[in-house]
């Protein structure tokens, strides 16, 4: 537990200001609590010399690019929305191995960022890497796209800019303390995590535009129905295989499988499946089957972390 969030903010702002000086900098922000907290620390340190870069990778929640960029502008931040959907989908094409997908996403993410920083004339990048990202990447559990220098990749040499990670020693619960002390609204402080590679790792197997749209709709349903349910994360996953079902006319229907995952956690290092009412599960199931006709089965995952991870890939 972070003892003094205010002191952490003061120290972080000073460190950012001393390192960047009067140069231009950017922050890669997604709308989650980690990157938003980093953006607010950067704003305090650098003012208008900081630009928020939101990369629309085509793998976000429904309507996310518009809602997040509007929110950041409401905080007084300078925002640039970068449309890179086609670039990310092209990089993921044909890949089914989870680590290959994560690394392809990472390479594309930093390539697009590097180009965007060059256009801004910025030499510094702030990002919201936290301790859990570093631990899982270094242990080989899974590659987090925002971990570079901790695994020997020098950002300056590889991408042409210096990297600042003010939250890299904090865990999720500690980041939330800092976010609250910065005055962020409670719905952002307590916002459920969303993976850096987005919906690409909630699609088991190869990523296609059609699959992204399907799992995006299922995710929207799960998030809407659990809006008032207290948990760490709630989302949908699209299985790689299909299952036989029965059509309304009584014929055979071979369709998609959606898995619902809802867990409780504090620091994202361990998690337990949430005990959820049968009524709520039925409501989610009914909406998914009705609103996504290609789905024939809806499952609920009850595996803790460990042995599983929170995300499927």
Strand 233-246 relative to strand 252-264, pairing: antiparallel
Euclidean distance between CA atoms 9 and 216, whole angstroms: 35
Mean of the per-residue pLDDT values for the chain? 93
- pLDDT of 159: 74
Instruction: Please state, in angstroms and rounded to a whole number, the distance separating the CA atoms of residues 224 and 273.
Output: 19
90 vs 208: CA distance, rounded Å: 9
- Pairing mode of beta strands 162-164, 50-56: unpaired
- Residues for the chain: how many in total? 313
Question: How confident is the model at residue 153, as a pLDDT?
Answer: 67
Task: Determine the pLDDT at residue 149.
Answer: 63
Write the burial class of residue 210 (CB in 10 Å: 0-12 exposed, 13-18 middle, 19+ buried): exposed
51 forms beta bridges with 26, 78
Q: What is the pLDDT of residues 119-170, one digit of tens each?
A: 999 999 999 999 988 887 777 676 676 666 666 666 666 677 899 999 999 9
The strand pairing partners of 16, in sequence order, are none
Over residues 2-31, the pLDDT tens digits come to 889 999 999 999 999 999 999 999 999 999
Residues 32 and 180 sit within 8 Å (Cβ to Cβ): no
What is the β-pairing status of strands 252-264 and 272-273? antiparallel
3 state DSSP class of 184: coil
Beta pairing partners, 237: 259
Sorted by sequence, the CB contacts under 8 Å of residue 13 that are 6+ apart come out as 41, 44, 45
Backbone angles phi, psi at 246, to 5 degrees: -120, 130
Q: Which is it for the CA torsion 87, 234, 176, 307, positive or negative?
A: negative
Token pair for 35: 């990157």
| Tens digits of residue pLDDT in 224-243 | 999 999 999 999 999 999 99
> Residue ranges of the alpha helices (H) in 182-277?
186-189, 209-225
Structure confidence by residue, pLDDT tens digits, 172-224 = 999 999 999 999 999 999 999 999 899 999 999 999 999 999 999 999 999 99
Sketch out the chain's domains with CATH numbers. 5-189 (3.40.50.620), 208-300 (3.30.300.10)
Q: Can you tell me the distance from the alpha carbon of 148 to that of 49, in angstroms, rounded to the nearest whole number?
A: 24
């Amino acid at each position: 537990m972070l003892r003094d969030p205010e002191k952490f903010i003061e120290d972080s702002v000073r460190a950012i200001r001393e390192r960047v000086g009067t140069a231009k900098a950017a922050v890669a922000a997604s709308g989650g609590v980690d990157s938003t907290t980093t953006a607010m620390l950067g704003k305090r340190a650098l003012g208008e010399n900081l630009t928020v870069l939101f990369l629309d990778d085509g793998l976000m929640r429904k309507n996310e690019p518009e809602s997040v960029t509007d929110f950041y502008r409401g905080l007084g931040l300078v925002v640039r929305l970068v449309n890179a959907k086609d670039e990310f989908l092209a990089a993921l094409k044909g890949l089914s191995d989870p680590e290959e997908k994560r690394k392809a996403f990472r390479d594309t993410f930093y390539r697009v960022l590097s180009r965007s920083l060059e256009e801004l004339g910025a030499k510094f990048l702030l990002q919201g890497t936290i301790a859990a990202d570093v631990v899982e990447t270094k242990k080989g559990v899974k590659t987090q796209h925002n971990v570079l220098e901790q695994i020997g990749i020098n950002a300056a040499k590889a991408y042409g800019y210096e990297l600042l990670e003010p939250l890299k020693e904090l865990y999720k619960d500690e980041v939330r303390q800092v976010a609250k002390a910065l005055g962020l609204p409670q719905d952002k402080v307590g916002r459920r995590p969303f993976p850096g590679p987005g919906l690409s790792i909630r699609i088991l197997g190869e990523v296609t535009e059609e699959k992204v749209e399907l799992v995006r709709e299922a995710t929207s349903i799960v998030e809407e129905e659990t809006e008032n349910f207290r948990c760490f994360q709630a989302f949908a996953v699209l299985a790689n295989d299909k299952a036989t079902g029965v059509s309304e006319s009584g014929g055979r229907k071979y369709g998609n499988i959606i898995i619902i995952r809802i867990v409780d956690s504090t620091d994202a290092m361990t998690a337990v499946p949430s005990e959820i009412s049968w009524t709520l599960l039925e409501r989610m199931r009914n909406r998914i089957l009705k609103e996504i006709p290609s789905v024939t089965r809806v499952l609920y995952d009850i595996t803790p972390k460990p042995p599983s991870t929170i995300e499927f890939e």
